[in-house]
Structure 1
């Protein structure tokens, strides 16, 4: 018994060596952010504050011991007036739980930072002129200072009225012209970006024209976009090798646009028009993009804003980066389009200004059901477009819009059924096992179900298994989301071992983060125990793929004290301790 008490005493002493600094005035906050040590938590007492300008941060934590700047309660610390944070060449800092209502300031600037996390904040700025709300980039006079591996997650962005973006990802200036890399934007709620501007009011902009040939490796995933109508491009991607996946778009007038750059991937997203005019899907330019496993329903956009928009370009490669580059070698496969006003629009010329039609595009194994207009509207004939394995079904006044062989497009009723406001394949569907070609990168469907030896046509693979990746609701995103598990974005790097990291902040009240890594596919269980060994919470209990995971854990229903959290993966068991202080 004495030995157990001594272990607990040593643990508590070690934890408290990491300071908790309680702040109730701005001058102390400005001092604390740059004097804090790795592992420290700076807690801002609930209330309304005006920082009177920049809170400049040049300090850094470490990978295992980030510095945490957090509100006493999520959303109960309000920064108003001239308040903003300026992170300068920092690393491993978490900013959590603050409500920003500032006026005409970019409230978070990350200048050549890495591993900064902006989480569970509320952004409702009172802007009166053009403004970027969050900006990630380099240093304006140092082309060698780079930004990377930052994360913006579980925030609410609401009520944009002026030009500028909710989130802007830039990069280093000339002559480097390199985009910030490996940033992740996930589990945020973006809503009410109105009214419409002609340009420069995208909800998210990734890169810009001069950076567009550099690789960003940005991942935008698990976000909910509602009524984001401020720009013809809901998201504008202007760099290479980016990924946009697992997002839900509702009533957003415009498109997710791969505006510049090459080799990006758009997969497993939901687009719902809800009958609103101008609602669109995906528009692309450039080379070698992959568009697959997306679901489009009830969209009413056309020309620039059709569900799948392949306009002509006005440029065929070179250094005039503001041009619209011709589409080359895009792969558009396994998408489902249901009852939209239009489906595929190909070769729009912008009143004769764009003369370079799409070239070497593959359109295969897509499922379309339409009750009006042309499914395929060809304004300019594409060059060497390859169609195969598609199923298009016309009802009422809908037309095919082009001549196809049955190998290219089969016009038959796919026998889909509606369940929980989504259309699925029925067990008698003509789409089952009817795909053509070899697209092994689409090994799962939009619901994360494994595809069979011969894949089904469309985003849904017929299955009676549990359905995952349903359209997002506000319960799964934003600062008050229920506990979620999320996979880190660098899926190309499989961990070499299983690791359960120390939670942070620690001590905590009531929110903390638990990170773990697994190196093999298998069942994972992560539970919380009290000091008597009683299991009080189960955070994870399911099969997981190899990867990096993060849990946002709430102890709101637990009493203050010492707790243990245990990870079981296969035959491996790891246990760590944490302290809840209320």
Structure 2
């Protein structure tokens, strides 16, 4: 009997129509060809955009791939497709992957530059945008709500991209939660380089916003991890959390004039981030509002923020607060954080005629406050009776407040191999601190910004890897 070899079985399945269709690679040279090709795409197919400048190209990638056989849209070579003029990208369907596109020096006249949906025609689920650039892609200055990246749907990923040069009003990236189909979404935003954004001088200059006040009591479940933020100075909120069950972990915020702000929503985790101010004015850390959060294992160094841009700010709340104001801080855990030469840590901030509720049920455990030239480890300007301190150590030029669980310590400091100042008690092992991500590790492999974090004008990228 003839043996059942792999080739024989494949031929047999093909003859009976049971084998999967052969994946196709289709190359298109202009938007018209792109539009004609998209409806024909099957799981496993790859649609290739020919190298060159694509002007005024509103791309809509719609289809249904699978986890094993996604539908891929990519540049002929990474970075060799420059989308300019009034170009944009919409994803609609499942298991779609987009890579290697370069949006430069144009703008999207309506909606975002990239959206994980195609209007009312369908959301994106399990889709990914990777190794792309959006730089200096601003609408005319008169437009006050120019958002660049919109998340909808479920389990979408935005990774290894470079996003910088936003000068107009509107959030750079927003996770939208308008309906149940976009909540509890488990989106992932990782390994991106978020480059300079100058001060806007008004609200709406966040780099990332997760949710809105109106939907803040719902969960998003978005993960923001191992991104590099550099000179993201749009406004006081670099990352604005306005929903629940989100994770912001292992990111580096370098010389950013703002903070990660737990503005609305509950039960968020801020973990393992590095806030490096390098002595720049108005650089901040974490701003705590609402309930059930954990702020742990973060490193804060040389931050010079004041007011609500301190290294750590715990807010007073509003009684029976409306969703858009200041909910009381309740049941928050702040542990194992290190503060090095930071101008302001305020444990009860913002008390006024409206904000009259002191924080309560707040645990501060095993934190280190090191500032031998600073007058005190932190500010105590209002009632902190709702805070419980355990195992916290400090070194400051002046005597700290007499609080159980806060102990003066004679520490030494030295630089780690990563160049970070590490305080430790005399005779104790010096902890090894390493940035979770560097500028070189974030963003596309094919693209590097200049020393100032900005992108040079596009000029015939080769896409070499």
CA contact (8 A) 1:203 1:228 kept: yes
The residue that corresponds to 1:126 in the other structure is 138
CA contact (8 A) 1:154 1:481 kept: no
How far did residue 353 of structure 1 move? 3.4
Distance in 1 separating the partners of 2:95 and 2:182: 22
Q: How does 1:28-427 map to 2 (within 5 A)?
A: 28-52=33-57, 54-88=58-92, 90-101=93-104, 102-105=106-109, 106-111=112-117, 112-124=123-135, 125-128=137-140, 129=143, 130-137=145-152, 147-173=153-179, 179=183, 181-316=185-320, 320-342=322-344, 344-349=345-350, 352-370=353-371, 371-395=373-397, 398-400=398-400, 402-405=401-404, 408-419=405-416, 420-424=418-422
How far did residue 427 of structure 1 move? 8.6
Q: Deviations over 1:453-479 (max 9, x none)?
A: xxxxxxxx847xxx7x52522211101
* 3-state SS of 2:435 partner: coil
CA contact (8 A) 2:138 2:146 kept: no
Distance in 2 separating the partners of 1:61 and 1:178: 20
How far did residue 236 of structure 1 move? 0.3
CA contact (8 A) 2:351 2:382 kept: no
Name the CA shift for 1:305/1:279 in 2 (closer, same or farther; >3 Å): same
How far did residue 57 of structure 1 move? 3.3
Q: Is the aligned partner of 1:479 residue 2:444? A: yes
Give the structure with the larger strand fraction.
Answer: 1
Distance in 1 separating the partners of 2:91 and 2:228: 27
Distance in 2 separating the partners of 1:35 and 1:383: 65
How far did residue 425 of structure 1 move? 5.5
Name the CA shift for 1:480/1:213 in 2 (closer, same or farther; >3 Å): same
1:23 to 19, 22, 28: 28
How far did residue 34 of structure 1 move? 2.6
How far did residue 136 of structure 1 move? 1.3
* 3-state SS of 1:193 partner: coil
TM-score of the aligned structures, taking structure 2 as reference length: 0.85
CA contact (8 A) 1:70 1:95 kept: yes
How far did residue 178 of structure 1 move? 6.1
Following superposition, which runs of at least 4 residues in structure 1 exceed 6 angstroms of deviation?
13-16
How far did residue 376 of structure 1 move? 1.8
Name the CA shift for 1:315/1:169 in 2 (closer, same or farther; >3 Å): farther
Gaps (5+ residues) in structure 1? 138-146, 433-460, 483-509, 512-553, 557-582
C-alpha RMSD of the superposition: 2.8
Distance in 1 separating the partners of 2:116 and 2:370: 45
How far did residue 354 of structure 1 move? 1.6
Distance in 1 separating the partners of 2:60 and 2:225: 29
Name the CA shift for 1:271/1:133 in 2 (closer, same or farther; >3 Å): same
Q: How many residues align?
A: 428
Gaps (5+ residues) in structure 2? 118-122, 448-461
Distance in 1 separating the partners of 2:221 and 2:28: 37
How far did residue 424 of structure 1 move? 3.3
CA contact (8 A) 1:159 1:191 kept: yes
